[in-house]
Amino acid sequence: MASITKKLGRYYVRVRRKGSRTLCKSFGRREDALRWSRQTEIDLENGLIPQSSYLFLDIINRYEKTVSVDKKSHEIEKFRLKGLKQSFLSELPIHNITQSHIAQYRDNRLELVQPSTVLRELTLLSHIFTVAMQDWGYELTCNPVSKIRKPPPSSSRNRRLEEGEEEKLLHGLNQITNIWTKPLMLFAIETAMRRGELLKLQWQYVFLEKKYVHLPETKNGATRNVPLSPKAEVRGSNPLECAINLLIYSYIYDFFDFSLLSKNFSFDTDLTQ
């Protein structure tokens, strides 16, 4: 979008486009200002303006629409992309981002989240730069993420509920109005299944007679069978209970938003209170 203003006998042109810096120029004649603004808009539309004009936000948006959307982890990855859009990196032209900026982003995030979370975010960042360079023709000197130290992955967790914690957890769940959260958490406790695995569970993979569910697609890409404990088996033994308690994909996945769980229950709830 172009705008022309007159000041002290000269015409000042501003051409703005979402995701790119504003281009400005002044002219002595209005006709020249109009001609330049029209040509600049055409050049922007055809990608003829130097790539250094494009903000990293523009790259993130393109990645989300053309690359991330085809990943099986898209529902989870879109939250990481949203975080990148809100970071200071999104405000920088892509060609200006250096390893120092990435290191600053890493250090900022390490103050808020676990190293394994930061490591996943850096992996995503690195892939965005790789796609921009290899597929979209952005002529960067290097992938800045490859130049920084990566945080070590967090140790695997083996903590179990201690005495009295399950009662406190159930008390907290009873305060939640979302009808899906409590059965989801109860079934998760009995099966140790991940959130995504629970929400993608389908009837064809539930074997009540043999007392297990089959997971054809897991976080690490491998399949596995999950035994149904007596409590989990009871929750899965009745079709009506299954619709509510087992959270079968064909019933609820279309309208269950991953963010609802985060809004209604925090996985970091302090059970010591």
Task: Report if residue 159 sits inside a domain.
Answer: no
Same domain, 45 and 60: no
Contact 27, 13 (CB under 8 A): yes
Task: Please check whether residues 175 and 134 belong to one and the same domain.
Answer: no
Same domain, 133 and 209: no
pLDDT digits (tens, 9 = 90+) for 248-263: 433 333 334 444 444 4
258 versus 133: the higher-pLDDT residue is: 133
User: 110 in a domain, yes or no?
Assistant: yes
For residue 273, tell me if it sits in a domain: no
22 vs 57 pLDDT, higher one: 57
| Residue-range definition of the domain harbouring residue 13 | 2-49
Task: Determine the pLDDT at residue 253.
Answer: 38
| pLDDT computed for residue 272 by the predictor | 37
- Among residues of the chain, what percentage have pLDDT more than 90? 29
Within a domain: 272:
no
Of 49, 67, 87, the position where a domain reaches its end is 49
In sequence order, what are the residues at sequence separation of 6 or more whose Cβ sits closer than 8 angstroms to the Cβ of residue 112? none
140 and 173 housed in the same domain: no
> Same domain, yes or no, for 140 and 187?
no
What is the pTM (predicted TM-score) of this model?
0.57
Residues 36 and 17 grouped into a single domain: yes
In the block, tokens 């200006």 appear at: 96
How far, in Å, CA of 134 to CA of 196, rounded?
31
Domain presence at residue 132: yes
* N residues, the chain: 273
Q: Please write the tens of the pLDDT for every residue from 37-67.
A: 888 888 877 766 665 567 899 899 999 999 9
| Range scoring the smallest mean pLDDT among 17-21, 119-123, 167-171, 269-273 | 269-273
**Residue 6's beta-bridge partner residues?**
11
Domain count, the chain: 3
Q: Is residue 96 part of a domain?
A: yes
Domain with residue 122: its CATH number is 1.10.150.130
Tokens of residue 178, six digits: 């979302």
* 213 and 238 within one domain: yes
